[in-house]
Amino acid sequence: MQNPHLFKIIMPIKVDQFEDLLKTHPNCPFVDSVCYGLRNSFWPLASISEESPITFDFLVRPQIEEAQVFI
């Protein structure tokens, strides 16, 4: 975490104990993913590459013919 002073993170979950309780869970990859997230954070795109967009504009759409609007 680059700026730990910005957010006070309180996590009352004891991840090791939580993981131990779920060791017989039928979906082990899911349990591993949740435990990893609890230990390391769940922030998507936390490690972005040079190719990752900074923003995404949802307003950019392909233009359609006016006649197609009413079809």
* 23 belongs to a structural domain: yes
Burial class (CB in 10 A: 0-12, 13-18, 19+), 19: middle
* 27 belongs to a structural domain: yes
Domain of residue 30 covers 10-40
* 22 belongs to a structural domain: yes
- The answer to whether the beta carbons of residues 19 and 31 sit under 8 Å apart is yes
pTM for the structure as a whole: 0.49
* 32 belongs to a structural domain: yes
* 35 belongs to a structural domain: yes
Mean pLDDT of 1-26: 86
Q: Confidence class of residue 51 from pLDDT cuts 50, 70 and 90?
A: confident
Top-confidence residue, 61 or 24 = 24
* 59 belongs to a structural domain: no
* 19 belongs to a structural domain: yes
